[in-house]
Amino acid sequence: MDAEKTPVDVLLIEDNLNDIEITRRALERGMVKNHLTVARDGEEALALLARRGGAEPLPSLILLDLNLPKISGHDVLRKIRATPRLHRIPVIVLTASTRAEDVAEAYDLGVNTFITKPVRFKDFLRVITTIQEYWIATATLPPETGV
C-alpha cells in the first residue's frame, strides 16, 4: 500500500449505527488517509451529492447500503448513474441482502461491486479492510467529470 497516496473522500450511505462505527474504525486503521462522510438515508445522500462539487469535492468512492429509509439504495444508485457529474464515482453496495434480485438489479444499475455484509464483527472488519486495500490503496479512481 502507498501511504503517500492522496487522501480519498469516501461517502458511506448507511443507517445502521454499528455498521457506521465499524466502517469508520476499519478505515481509520488503514494505511491510506481518507475522509469519511456519512449519510444516514437515501434522501440525505442525494442532497449531499447535489451540494458537492467545486470547493467541496465529490466523493471518490461510495459505500451504499440498499435497505435505507426514505429513498432505497437502488433508487440512490439509479440517480447516481443517471447524473453526469456523478456517474463515474465507483459505488460499492455493502448490504445485508443476499437476494439474487438485489444483486442483479444493483449490477443492472451499474454498481461496481456487490458485497453482502458479514454478520460477525471480525469478518465485517476484514471486508472493510479489503475494500480499502483495493479501492483506496490500489485502484486508480476516476477524476471528477467537471460537468
DSSP 106-125: HHHTT-SEEEEPPSSHHHHH
Asked whether the beta carbons of 11 and 62 are under 8 A apart, the reply is yes
* Residue 108 phi, psi dihedral angles, 5° rounding: -60, -30
**Would you say residue 3 has pLDDT above 60?**
no
**Which of 7-21, 22-36, 107-121 shows the lowest mean pLDDT across its residues?**
22-36
pTM (predicted TM-score): 0.90
* Mean pLDDT computed over 70-99: 95
* DSSP-assigned letter for residue 140: P
Domain extent listing, the chain: 8-138
- Tell me: domain 8-138, CATH 3.40.50.620, correct? no
